[in-house]
Structure 1
Amino acid sequence: MARDRGRPGVRARLSAAAAMLVLMLMVGSVVLSAQSSTAATTSGRAMWVWSWTDAGAVVQLAQSRGIGTLFVGVPPDLATSPALPTVRALVTRARAAGLRVDALGGDPGWVDDAPWAVDHWVRPTIATGLFTGLHVDVEPWTTPAWTTRQSTTVSRYLTLLDLLVAASGGRPLEADIPFWFGHVTAGRKSTLDTETMRRVSAVTIMAYRNTAAGPDGTLAIAAGELRTAAALGRPIRIGQETNDLGADPAEVKQTFYGQTLTRMNDQLAQVDSGASAYATYAGVAVHDATGYAAMAP
């Protein structure tokens, strides 16, 4: 079944060298311009950080744009990974700046091998003692089985969440979900958004639009999930995209790529204003650090 991407199935990540170049070039303009262009309420704002080479540039970007929480990409077997020093450097610097840092990970393959995800991602990540919580982005709808055996895939996905939560040792576990999970059946009498929210501590709803208002704007497509989260008492963030998704109109409307930071902040202010009517709204999450840093004032 064709679905609007909550966010790209193949993540828009630049190479480490490209990420460093973008962050280093743009951070100067961030410091000068962001204070005047972030008049929108930024309480609770978060940012995905999939790749980086300069921890200082990431933290400075977050501080200049009112980001309070980082979702930091963590590889498998972090405790013994060569990436550990790089991850530790970013987490240490972010915490010193007063930022919350959650470990970010996930892969569609986890649905078919939940024990592997627990043994090779959750437990080694927790063992480092670096993170406040866990943030997972699994995207089961990108697997071939989603089309051929959707009910089975849904069941396996929920079982995965159960195991991840059980292995988290009481740490909060947040999940990324698309805005259309409310239209996916889970069992006989429930939906996938409801069942996901019942299991995890919070969700980030990938309601990717570059316009807040209107029948196809962020607020409209996120409304169902905002209602569900409020009814269940689950904190919910609204994800917004800044990377290049492609030239097709259906892709262009999902991202602020190519637009100014000023226009994005205006739209995010409208999102915050509209979504704050829901009791458990927890703010905007920006995908991701590389795309966000590259935006012109």
Structure 2
Amino acid sequence: MARAMWIWMQAGTTLDTAALVAHVDAQRVGEAFVSVPWTGPDAETHRCVAALRGRGVRVAALGGDPAWTSGSDAVTWLQRATASFLFDAVHLDIEPWTRRDWAGRERELLAGLERTVKDVAGRTALPVEVDLSPWLADAYPDEFGRIVRRADRVALMAYRDRAADVLAISAAARAIVARVGKPCRIGVDVLPSEAPAETFADDGRAVLERELAAIEAALAGARAFAGTAIHDYDHWRALA
């Protein structure tokens, strides 16, 4: 099964397209979420998308900010990101649970995320995917379900470094997604972290491959399972 990955384009840096193509080929990447600046695609965005398309990779415009639970910033970004018809989809990474004012406003902010996904989906014909942390399904199942209904697809950021733990923490979220009838990816992390059980950064590529294979095998028969995704490209490529 082809895998997906997040690509965060760093301002002022030049993309090594040869390394990107080699990684895509070696790691069976079938889709990439490519970050798009607030002002819209720049020259490096175009180079990245062209390199990916040259290898048959489906490309989504990636964007988000925890503040996008209110106002029209998400729609403004969407219109700029998709104006040049570069992308096959839109991928939102908003994560209001990372806000400093999250505590005490949880349901309000999740309702804002639902509205944002609804607004973005209503302004584009492209499929819209949203990143969600699976623990939200345990703590706020109704709000979680309503956000899932607004999206075309979900990426569950099930950040653990063993397949059994990934499957365990995502179980409730996967059940809701399946009931709603939307596809979902299982995302894992390779960024260095103070919580080593949440990332493969300290485990290495062999362990990552072993655990991804176990996740894919365990979920192969699940109708809603749309594959795995790795966060992110730069750290995945550098993984020992």
TM-score (norm 2): 0.94
Question: Kindly, what percent of the aligned residue pairs are identical?
Answer: 31
Does structure 2 conserve the Cα–Cα contact (< 8 Å) formed by 1:45 and 1:66? yes
1:277 to 209, 221, 227: 221
By how many angstroms is 1:133 displaced?
Answer: 0.3
Match 1:73 to one of 28, 35, 40: 35
User: For the Cα contact (< 8 Å) 1:104–1:137, is it kept in 2?
Assistant: yes
How far apart, in 1, do the equivalents of 2:18 and 2:81 lie?
A: 22
Query: Which residue of the partner structure matches residue 183 of structure 2?
Result: 235
User: Which has the larger Rg?
Assistant: 1
Cα deviation code 1:241-269 (max 9, x no counterpart): 111012xxxx1000000222112111111
TM (norm. structure 1) is: 0.76
> Following TM superposition, by how much is the alpha carbon of 1:59 offset from its aligned partner in structure 2, in angstroms?
2.4
Unaligned 5+ segments in structure 1 are: 1-42
The answer for the alignment partner of 1:148 in structure 2 is: 104
Once residues 51 and 97 of structure 2 are traced to their aligned partners in structure 1, the CA distance between those partners, rounded to angstroms, is 35
| Maintained 8 Å contact 1:49/1:72 | yes
Higher relative contact order (CA 8 A, sep 6+): 1
5+ residue gaps, structure 2, are: none
Which amino acid is the alignment partner of residue 50 of structure 1?
A: W
For 2:192, what is the secondary structure of its paired residue?
coil
Deviation at 1:184, TM superposition (A): 3.6
Which whole-Å CA distance do the structure 1 matches of 2:226 and 2:58 have between them? 14
Cα RMSD of the aligned pairs, angstroms, is: 1.4
Structure 1 moving runs of 4+ over 4 Å: none
Deviation, 1:130, is: 0.4
Q: Which moved more, 1:127-136 or 1:147-156?
A: 147-156
Which residue of 185, 193, 196 maps to 2:147?
A: 196
Q: After TM superposition, list the pairs within 5 Å mapping 1:73-112 onto structure 2.
A: 73-78=35-40, 84-112=42-70
Matched residues, number: 236
Describe the SS at the equivalent of 1:48: strand
Question: Post-superposition shift, 1:193?
Answer: 2.1
**1:118-171 Cα deviation digits (max 9, x unpaired):** 12x100111011000000000011123321322221221211111111112x21
